[in-house]
Amino acid sequence: MEFILFVLTHRMNNRDRWRVYKRVSLMFLLALLALTVVQRGSINMGAPFELERQARMHPPADYDDKQENGIKAFWKSSKPSTSESPTITHDNRPTTWDVTSTNCTANHNLSEQDWFMGLEANFKQFLLYRHCRYFPMILNHPEKCSGDIYLLIVIKSVATEHDRREVIRKTWGKEQVVDGKRIKTLFLLGKSSNEVERANHQKLLEYEDYIYGDILQWDFLDSFFNLTLKETHFLKWFHTYCPNVRYVFKGDDDVFVSVHNIFEYLEMSSKVKDMFVGDVIFKAKPIRKKENKYYIPHALYNKTFYPPYAGGGGFLMDGPLVKRLHVAADTLNLYPIDDVFLGMCLEVLKVTPIKHNAFKTFGLVKNKASKLNREPCLFKSMIVVHKLLPTDLIRMWNLVNSDLVCSKKAQIL
């Protein structure tokens, strides 16, 4: 705790005031941490304190510069320096995030059009701002992709889901070297769309990032329709900073993943060019029922079928393809469903995604009550399973990685 308190009180010289301040700060911080715990309901009380202990035991390797400047640097650096002018390399790739101001006004051209007037409020909101393609970064890690990386794991998350990130870092998302191959992990976030949350969670998020150095955050609201922005921002970020990443796994923060099986799969398919594999749906029809979460009005999409696309819960692609996907994405209008949008980008590139049975992003078996959904031997043979909350994830992880004896390994891989 002294660590945090020191940060909060480092400007105070008077010892008495310091003591009072210490107490107040401690209570304030505990209240904030308790708030996240209570809001999440089921998370283990240990997590936030665990977080602090790890800060002392493992100073993040990437943060040498900040350590030199002392603790103050954490607060100073909470706003990334965006003053460097973007330099252009031979392949016209900017080498820094080149979007430094948000200047996005609603497109009122639409307001006069009848088809627009008839839309639901959320689609109006989406269309009014659809032309705003890129936003500045709040938290960045340009150093993340330095050197050769075999597998970059990127996970969509939101500020309040701290416990999910914590569990992923301890289980399948752990940064490590396996057989000489480096694995790195990043979380992709926007801003909380709720103002109270934004005020309470932003500093915690920055502290979390200071400890782990694995959060990318952009200056757009985290909302369902803005998930496509998260997709395009990651593609651009990757294109900018990651020249030497072999493969990317992208997924949700509530899935179970077997990195061991990913490695096995990648070794078998090392010759495949333009690899994109996941729980692919062919000939999906846009949903026209208004009550459905994925409802799409004809005004937004008027074809009978979507292009083939992989469920956003988790999929694998190769690094060079990710860079081409960025270029393709820039030629398309944004579409409110992120995984369908990526399918549209693949269509532009004439790349057909591969369907693989070890990716279960729509659940393991259809019957949600089935015991199979909790069968560790089944999990052991999978690459991604949707969806597990933190406590279940930890339990399943421990089971799958114990001396589990499975009568026969499901022949899926």
The residues binding ligand NAG (CB under 6 A) are 101, 103, 107, 109, 125-126, 129, 131, 220-221, 223, 225-226, 302
Nearer residue to ligand NAG within complex by CB, 161 or 279:
161
Query: Least separation, in Å, of the C-beta of 346 and ligand NAG?
Result: 19
Nearer residue to ligand NAG within complex by CB, 221 or 394:
221
Nearer residue to ligand NAG within complex by CB, 226 or 381:
226
Give the CA angle between residues 145, 146, 147 to the nearest 5°. 115
Nearer residue to ligand NAG within complex by CB, 4 or 106:
106
Query: Least separation, in Å, of the C-beta of 196 and ligand NAG?
Result: 17
Dihedral of CA atoms 377, 383, 387, 393 in degrees, nearest 10, equals 60
- What Å distances lie between residue 85 and 88, 94, 99, 243, 363, CA to CA? 10, 10, 10, 20, 46
Query: Least separation, in Å, of the C-beta of 190 and ligand NAG?
Result: 7
Nearer residue to ligand NAG within complex by CB, 59 or 118:
118
Query: Least separation, in Å, of the C-beta of 103 and ligand NAG?
Result: 4
Q: Do the Cβ atoms of 218 and 141 come closer than 8 Å?
A: no
Question: How far, in Å, CA of 15 to CA of 136, rounded?
Answer: 41
Q: Do the Cβ atoms of 362 and 283 come closer than 8 Å?
A: no
Query: Least separation, in Å, of the C-beta of 129 and ligand NAG?
Result: 5
DSSP state of 69: T
Query: Least separation, in Å, of the C-beta of 212 and ligand NAG?
Result: 25
Nearer residue to ligand NAG within complex by CB, 13 or 101:
101
Between 338-349 and 319-329, two packed helices, what is the crossing angle to 10 degrees? 100
Nearer residue to ligand NAG within complex by CB, 90 or 293:
293
Give the CA angle between residues 304, 346, 363 to the nearest 5°. 75
Nearer residue to ligand NAG within complex by CB, 32 or 299:
299
Query: Least separation, in Å, of the C-beta of 192 and ligand NAG?
Result: 11
Nearer residue to ligand NAG within complex by CB, 99 or 167:
99
Q: Which residues pair with 216 in a beta bridge?
A: 188
Pairing verdict, β 255-257 and 176-178: unpaired
**Which residues, 6 or more positions from 51, have their beta carbon under 8 angstroms from its beta carbon?**
166, 208, 211
Query: Least separation, in Å, of the C-beta of 125 and ligand NAG?
Result: 5
Which H helix or E strand runs over 189? strand 181-191
Between 195-212 and 15-40, two packed helices, what is the crossing angle to 10 degrees? 110
Query: Least separation, in Å, of the C-beta of 70 and ligand NAG?
Result: 33
First to last CA, the chain: 47
Nearer residue to ligand NAG within complex by CB, 107 or 352:
107
- What Å distances lie between residue 29 and 124, 191, 232, CA to CA? 39, 21, 35
Q: Which residues pair with 250 in a beta bridge?
A: 154, 315
Query: Least separation, in Å, of the C-beta of 75 and ligand NAG?
Result: 24
**Which residues, 6 or more positions from 334, have their beta carbon under 8 angstroms from its beta carbon?**
130, 133, 228, 229, 232, 341
Question: How far, in Å, CA of 186 to CA of 183, rounded?
Answer: 10
